[in-house]
Amino acid sequence: MKTISHIMPALALALPAAACAADDAELRALREEMARIRASFEQRIDMLERKLAQAEAQAGSAGTPDAPPQASTAVPNPSATSNAFNPDVSLILSASYGATRRDPDTYRITGFHLPAANLDEARPARGFSLAESELSFSANVDHLFYGQLNLSIHPDDSVATEEAFVHTSALAHGLTLKAGRYFSGLGYLNEQHAHTWDFADMPLAYQVFLGGQFNNDGLQLRWLAPTETYLELGAELGRGANYPGSGSKGNGAGAGVLYAHLGGDVGMSSSWRAGLSYLSTRPQNRNWGDTDRSSQAVTNRFSGRSRLWIVDAVWKWAPNGNATRTNFKLQGEYLRRTEKGDVSYDVDGASLGPATDLYSALQTGWYLQGVYQFAPYWRLGLRTERLHNGAVDYAANNAALLRPDYSPARNSFMIDYNPSEFSRVRLQLAQDKSRQGLSNNTLILQYQMSLGAHGAHKF
Amino acid sequence: MLIKIMRSVLAVVAAGFALPACAALNVFACEPEWAALAQEIGGDKLSVYSAINAFQDPHHVQAKPSLLAQARKADLAICTGAQLEIGWLPILQQQTGNPKIQSGQAGFFEAAQFVRKLDVPASTDRSQGDVHPGGNPHIQTDPRNIGLVAAALAQRLAQIDAPNAGYYQASYARFAERWHAAIAGWEKQAQPLRGMKIVGHHKAFSYLENWLDLQLVATLEPRPGIEPTSKHLAEVLELLQRRPAAAIVRAPYNDARGSEWLAERAQIPALVLPFTVGGSERAKDLFGLFDDTVQRLLAVLK
């Protein structure tokens, strides 16, 4: 008896529909009812099919020019060829022309320690250049999994695996588990692919705190709450090989991410999403190039703990929810990073020689941007952004390293023309004060074209 | 003691999951016409949510947070299919952790599968615009298609919600009877419309044209999904001087400027047809949708 009382609720849990049927007698009655319905149903369908055949025959003989489109069951269009199971393929082609007032080689973001490779990505380009070409394959793996691969082909002929992941499609209760390499779900912009950005480049705050976009090799679990208001929680554990991390050498994870997104509608015309995210990494021997107090170029090294918080919000407006003609999008994010650990100054002995001591830093950054589609195909955008050196302390190395009291800033304007859903041409102008004392004016003219499978874009 | 606590916790959890199963089935309709149809057949057994209204372009919908929250709890998603929702539905399927509404599952119903499609392109190339390889997806403009979809939907509802199968079949039978009578009525009323020439904004009414034997002379969009250009409008105007048409029709979500510009110069009325439920004052339900569509077209002839 006791066992039954245990099993009953468990059964109810496993088979929610069965919870409606109270006992055996009712179940039996239901089954009989079902059988009766099925029989009468089949009869009715037979009758309908006969009628249909008659009607079709009549229509045929009468020679009506427009025979009604009739079909009593599904009308599949099977593709008999062997490529029927090929994944969806899509290709993004992009190139740009850039002009800058200052020599791009002197580009720095004053006060922010970016490894050379990440700094190169943030560096403005001059003249004609090919941008990243993106190649993406995606399909359902089977009834349980979905898989996707995004390759990024760089103009120097190197290929990077931007994303290569599988995720579940059959976990119930709003859960999705993703594994592989993926753009982390933190913040708002981080998950968006370059061809969906509203500006040609990433905000400075993303460049200095996330190295552009943070992708992670690992696991991601998302849960969408069963509520009217959108609430999504996510957690990720991964290698954290990319900046701000430098990868875990042990068996454990090198990066952990937590985030929550909340969203909804305001009336017919507005919808919004806001989020809070946290990223924790343990960079080991993360190098950056700097200029010390004796004006020598030195290489320094950081090992320790890096914690980043992001607050993001986006609001979209379209009259009556119809974005085809005009729409407006306002988005902003605030990033706050603390780093604690050890800094080794001048590890190559180029100046005063190696010296290691404690390091702690609090740095912040934000951007705010608005994009307005004022006519079909045409959009204008404005973006303003700042970075702040809150408190940076090198302990004993304060004697050797500079701690500039400078807040990098940039203002950008863009206008783009989108002749169809698949093509875009954009002009972007910016006044860039990333580097102390050297204001730079930049111009970017670019195109982005998408071929192949029709993409579906996130909010 | 521990067992007792465990038991009560289990019972509470079970109740939490079991109760909604006894309550109405959650239906997520991609377009208003399918929400209206689900309501006709499912009545109070269903709780129906429509992703968009008649003033939104079903091709271009944002996979916004409110839609994700609704798709998450759906027991059944009813969409047009034929790639109409390709720009947004995949996100709702992938990001909501809801196995019921995945393609191929009983909880994912694609209406266009149950009708014969028109305008199936011989070749698919984007230089021809945003073409749908499976054919024109705006199947709801022919009430006979609605009838076919209704039969399939009633079956599907009976399959998903077996305890109420009898209810769905009975209410489908009642609906089908009324619907077929209504179609006969509309066809009778629409006799004078046979052969009427129209200009469309988008190829949104191919099925209506086929049903009532209307003739589409031109579209304002130079290519499907590409908004009218002044050059193309001038070409249509020139064409209309050689082959006059009775009216320019558009859906409520289409930009009015193109058809008004042309209407003024070609001296023919620009007509907004409701296109779906909620598209006009009178199109309150599926019956109202076609009552109003036929009346608006007839008014042109008067």
Q: Where are the alpha helices (DSSP H) in chain B?
A: 2-22, 32-42, 65-72, 89-95, 143-160, 165-189, 206-212, 230-242, 256-266, 286-301
pLDDT at A25: 61
At residue B255's C-alpha, the angle toward residues B251 and B260, to 5°, is 90
CB contact under 8 A, B91 and A420: no
Task: Tell me the pLDDT band of A324, cut-offs 50, 70 and 90.
Answer: confident
Instruction: Collect all residues of chain A within an 8 Å Cβ-Cβ radius of residue B22.
Output: 19-20
pLDDT at A443 over 60: yes
Q: Which residues are bridge partners to B249 per DSSP?
A: B200, B271
Query: What three-state secondary structure class fits A154?
Result: coil
Min Cα separation B269/chain A (Å): 23
AA letter at A99: A
pLDDT at B233: 95
pLDDT at A90 over 90: yes
Give the predicted TM-score (pTM) of the model. 0.85
Chain A interface includes B68 (CB < 8 A): yes
pLDDT in tens, A408-433: 999 999 999 999 889 999 999 999 99
Instruction: Collect all residues of chain A within an 8 Å Cβ-Cβ radius of residue B109.
Output: none
Chain A interface includes B256 (CB < 8 A): no
CB contact under 8 A, A230 and B65: yes
pLDDT in tens, A135-157: 999 999 999 999 999 999 998 99
The minimal CB distance from A16 to the residues B18, B87, B97 is found for: B18
The minimal CB distance from A68 to the residues B91, B144, B226 is found for: B144
Q: In sequence order, which residues have a C-beta less than 8 Å from that of residue A17 and are 6 or more positions away?
A: B21, B161, B162, B163
Domain coordinates of chain B in residue numbers? 20-185, 190-301
The minimal CB distance from B94 to the residues A146, A376, A455 is found for: A146
- Which tokens belong to B59? 């091709």
pLDDT at A246: 86
pLDDT at A67 over 80: no
Q: How far apart are CA B218 and CA B240, in angstroms?
A: 9
**Topology of the domain covering B20-185:** Rossmann fold (3.40.50)
Min Cα separation A20/chain B (Å): 6
How do beta strands A438-452 and B108-110 pair?
Answer: unpaired
Q: If you average pLDDT over every residue of chain A, what do you get?
A: 87
Min Cα separation A336/chain B (Å): 26
CB contact under 8 A, B14 and A9: yes
Min Cα separation B125/chain A (Å): 10
Query: Are A314 and A331 a contacting pair, CB within 8 Å?
Result: yes
- Sign for the CA dihedral angle at B48, B51, B55, B58 comes to negative
Instruction: Give the best residue of B52, B68, B196 to mutate against chain A (max A CB count within 10 A).
Output: B68
Task: Tell me the pLDDT band of A183, cut-offs 50, 70 and 90.
Answer: very high
- What is the average per-residue pLDDT within A184-199? 95
Query: Look-up: residue for tokens 């309709």?
Result: B29
User: Residue A268's closest chain B neighbor by CA?
Assistant: B53
Instruction: Give the best residue of A77, A183, A266, A417 to mutate against chain B (max B CB count within 10 A).
Output: A77
- In the Cβ-directed half-sphere of A361, how many Cα atoms lie within 13 Å? 26
Min Cα separation B243/chain A (Å): 21
Would you call the peptide bond into A9 cis, given omega within 30 degrees of 0 as the criterion?
no
AA letter at A219: L
More confident residue, A340 or A61: A340
Distances (CA, A) of A291 to A345, A373, A400, B284: 11, 44, 10, 71
CB contact under 8 A, B134 and A77: yes
pLDDT at A27: 59
- Which tokens belong to A135? 């190649």
Which of A52-61, A331-340, A363-372 is predicted with the least confidence, judged by mean pLDDT? Answer: A52-61
Task: Tell me the pLDDT band of A252, cut-offs 50, 70 and 90.
Answer: confident
At residue A182's C-alpha, the angle toward residues A176 and A186, to 5°, is 75
pLDDT at A14: 41
CATH of region B190-301: 3.40.50.1980
ipTM of the complex: 0.87
Q: Give A430-447 as a DSSP string.
A: EEEEEETTEEEEEEEEEE
Q: Do domains B20-185 and B190-301 have the same CATH topology?
A: yes
Chain A interface includes B187 (CB < 8 A): no
Instruction: Collect all residues of chain A within an 8 Å Cβ-Cβ radius of residue B62.
Output: 271, 316, 323, 459
Q: Which of these, A247, A213, A253, lies nearest to A235 by C-alpha position?
A: A253
**What does each of the 302 residues of chain B score in pLDDT, given as a tens digit?**
445 555 554 444 444 444 444 579 999 999 999 999 999 999 999 999 999 999 999 999 999 999 999 999 999 999 999 999 999 999 999 999 999 999 999 999 999 999 999 999 888 888 888 888 899 999 999 999 999 999 999 999 999 999 999 999 999 999 999 999 999 999 999 999 999 999 999 999 999 999 999 999 999 999 988 889 999 999 999 999 999 999 999 999 999 999 999 999 999 999 999 999 999 999 999 999 999 999 999 999 98
pLDDT in tens, A350-402: 999 899 999 999 999 999 999 999 998 999 999 999 999 989 999 999 999 99
Query: Look-up: residue for tokens 């031109």?
Result: B218
Min Cα separation A68/chain B (Å): 7
Q: Give A48-85 as a DSSP string.
A: HHHHHHHHHHHHHHHT-SS-----SS-------SGGGG
CB contact under 8 A, A37 and B60: no
